[in-house]
């Protein structure tokens, strides 16, 4: 064993402790950095140098300690679980938010809702039947215009929400494509770093943050390959593989009145729809046609159906009556053929003289027709019943979406908490580690000093006699 081997052992201890303090400092510096995963120095003891010879040799001593790497204390299984949970949470969050916004537009069941205004409309006809005065007629016409306006405004609001969400879908697809390209770039840099023996932990953190965003956005699932790259798949096909990525495109109508289905497909295969997940899937399902369960389209169709039902039911009775002058009654409501019925509904009569409230041959003071129109309020198949049935059904559907969103969000929080319990930086723990490594550094320095003093005696004082 070399006389100077003690210096090498002490020096290796100094180097290991210094590396550990540096990594601990990196952890502390990034304690509040989003996506950062704490790191740890991996150390291994250096064995004694092999000795050969004809004669028995003294036992060999260890060669100190070696730093073998800087470990990233993440867990690929927990990371995958987080991505799955975020995909589910993203899907239901979009649906629940759209449903909440639609409910806010409908304002049911409040005094500002369509149901309440329909009730006021029917009550106006009842008042007119009891007291056929100009004031009562004016109330009927005013209430009718309010109902028509509310149906139109409700439809416009829902159509606006649909268009806004359609624009968001295009932006979401663009963001997914950009993030996928970034992951592919990081894959290349990580693979190069690992192959050259360099540390790629911070690059892996950046990639994982982007992977979680892609999981939330499009339901991407990931797998870490043997070369360190992360393969992300959507609907079983690679979105990112190695240092290459594929782009997505969205196609379909840009207005709720256009009808049709929106699809998300690969840019290089636009005719093949992708069964994406996450926010993208939630957005597409919310924008789906009414027959496919699209929330916004269902509400828009309900406004259209109510407008048609209201015009059909009231017109049928109004046409069967006569005015105070004996003229045959015409349509009370008209629906423009061009465009959605909800936007084309308007009131035809302008005065009491144009209202056909009497039955034919019953006399000028008869109000039978007005009474029959008022009775539509209680019809099981009338406009009010139709609207109430839809509102009730939608409320159940919205409550289900909201509950699923809450459950999915709780699952995502639990998954992230489990992930962060091992990956996040604990300031107290790092402070203790720093003190431990500092003590180790001081001890290694003391060993170095002791060996240096021993060598000083050996070199400079041994053999000096008589001085």
The tokens describing 440, both together, are: 């180790």
Query: Among 394, 415, 439, where does a domain finish?
Result: 394
Query: Is-contact 216 140, C-beta < 8 A?
Result: no
Q: What is the 3-state secondary structure of 208-231?
A: HHHHHHHHHHHCCEEEECCCCCEE
Q: 216 and 67, same structural domain?
A: no
Q: 378 and 317, same structural domain?
A: yes
Cα distance between residue 201 and residue 186, in whole Å: 11
* C-alpha torsion angle, residues 295, 301, 302, 308 (rounded to 10): 180
Whether omega for the bond prior to residue 109 falls within 30 degrees of 0, making it cis, is yes
Query: Is-contact 324 364, C-beta < 8 A?
Result: yes
The tens-digit pLDDT sequence of the chain (467 residues) is 566 777 888 899 999 999 999 999 999 999 999 889 999 999 999 887 655 555 555 566 788 899 999 999 988 889 999 999 999 999 999 999 999 999 999 988 888 899 999 999 999 999 999 988 889 999 999 999 999 999 999 999 999 999 999 999 999 999 999 999 999 999 999 999 999 989 999 999 999 999 999 999 999 999 999 999 999 999 889 999 999 999 999 999 999 988 889 999 999 888 888 888 999 999 999 999 999 889 999 999 999 999 999 999 999 999 999 988 888 889 999 999 888 999 999 999 988 888 988 888 777 678 899 999 999 999 989 999 999 999 999 999 999 999 999 999 999 999 999 998 889 999 999 999 999 999 999 999 999 898 888 888 878 877 665 55
Cα distance between residue 125 and residue 374, in whole Å: 5
Beta strands in 253-343 (DSSP E): 263-266, 269-273, 333-335
Look at residue 454 and tell me if it is in a domain. yes
Cα distance between residue 18 and residue 15, in whole Å: 5
Q: 306 and 341, same structural domain?
A: yes
Parent domain of 212: 79-107+167-290
- CA-CA distances (angstroms) from residue 412 to 90, 408, 416? 10, 6, 6
Q: 352 and 335, same structural domain?
A: yes
Q: 262 and 171, same structural domain?
A: yes
Cα distance between residue 366 and residue 353, in whole Å: 14
Query: Among 290, 315, 336, where does a domain finish?
Result: 290
Q: Output the CA torsion sign for 316, 139, 126, 148.
A: positive
Residue 320, classified by CB atoms within 10 Å of its CB into exposed (0-12), middle (13-18) or buried (19+), is middle
Whose CA is closest to 102, among 326, 299, 313? Answer: 299
Q: 243 and 98, same structural domain?
A: yes
Q: 196 and 260, same structural domain?
A: yes
Cα distance between residue 20 and residue 14, in whole Å: 10
Q: 354 and 308, same structural domain?
A: yes
Q: 69 and 83, same structural domain?
A: no
Structural domain count, the chain = 3
**Cβ count near 59 (within 10 Å):** 7
Look at residue 350 and tell me if it is in a domain. yes
Assign residue 435 a region (left: φ > 0; alpha: ψ between -120 and 50; beta: otherwise).
alpha
The tokens describing 108, both together, are: 């049911």
Cα distance between residue 361 and residue 227, in whole Å: 93
Look at residue 132 and tell me if it is in a domain. yes
**Cβ count near 328 (within 10 Å):** 11
> Which residues, 6 or more positions from 293, have their beta carbon under 8 angstroms from its beta carbon?
285
Q: 357 and 267, same structural domain?
A: no
Query: Is-contact 302 390, C-beta < 8 A?
Result: yes
Q: 98 and 203, same structural domain?
A: yes
Query: Among 230, 260, 290, where does a domain finish?
Result: 290
């Amino acid at each position: 064993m070399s006389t100077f081997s003690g210096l090498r052992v002490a020096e290796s201890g100094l180097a290991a402790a210094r590396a550990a303090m540096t990594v601990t400092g990196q952890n502390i510096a990034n304690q509040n950095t989003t996506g950062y995963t704490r790191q740890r120095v991996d150390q291994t003891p250096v064995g004694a140098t092999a000795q050969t010879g004809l004669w028995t040799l003294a036992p060999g001593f260890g060669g100190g300690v070696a730093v073998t790497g800087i470990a990233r204390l993440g867990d690929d299984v927990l990371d995958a679980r987080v991505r799955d949970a975020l995909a589910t949470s993203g899907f239901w969050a979009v649906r629940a938010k759209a449903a909440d916004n639609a409910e806010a537009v409908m304002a049911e069941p409040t005094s500002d809702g369509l149901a309440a205004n329909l009730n006021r409309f029917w009550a106006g006809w009842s008042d007119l039947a009891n007291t056929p005065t100009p004031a009562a007629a004016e109330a009927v016409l005013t209430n009718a215009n309010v109902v028509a306006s509310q149906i139109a405004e409700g439809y416009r609001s829902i159509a606006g929400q649909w268009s806004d969400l359609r624009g968001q879908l295009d932006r979401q697809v663009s963001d997914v494509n950009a993030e996928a390209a970034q992951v592919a770039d990081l894959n290349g840099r990580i693979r190069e770093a690992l192959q050259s023996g360099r540390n790629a932990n911070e690059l892996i953190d950046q990639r994982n943050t982007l992977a979680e965003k892609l999981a939330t956005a499009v339901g991407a699932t990931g797998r870490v390959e043997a070369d360190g790259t992360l393969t992300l798949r959507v609907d079983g096909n690679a979105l990112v593989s190695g240092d290459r990525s594929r782009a997505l495109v969205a196609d379909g109508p840009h207005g709720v009145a256009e009808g049709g289905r929106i699809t998300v497909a690969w840019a290089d295969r636009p005719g093949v729809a992708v069964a994406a997940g996450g926010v993208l899937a939630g957005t597409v399902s919310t924008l789906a046609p009414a027959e496919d369960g699209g929330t916004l389209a269902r509400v828009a169709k309900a406004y259209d159906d109510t407008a048609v039902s209201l015009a059909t039911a009231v017109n049928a009775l109004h046409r069967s009556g006569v005015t105070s002058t004996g003229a045959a009654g015409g349509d009370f409501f008209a629906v423009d053929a061009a465009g959605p019925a909800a936007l084309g509904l308007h009131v035809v009569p302008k005065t009491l003289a144009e209202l056909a409230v009497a039955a034919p041959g019953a006399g000028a003071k008869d109000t039978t027709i007005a009474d029959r129109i008022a009775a539509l309020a209680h019809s099981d198949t009338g406009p009010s019943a139709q609207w109430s049935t839809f509102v009730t059904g939608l409320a159940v559907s919205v409550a289900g979406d909201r509950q699923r969103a809450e459950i999915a969000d709780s699952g995502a929080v639990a998954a992230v908490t489990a992930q962060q319990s091992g990956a996040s930086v604990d300031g107290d723990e790092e402070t203790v580690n720093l003190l431990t490594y500092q003590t180790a550094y001081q001890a290694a320095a003391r060993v170095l000093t002791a060996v240096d003093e021993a060598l000083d005696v050996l070199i400079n004082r041994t053999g000096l006699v008589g001085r």
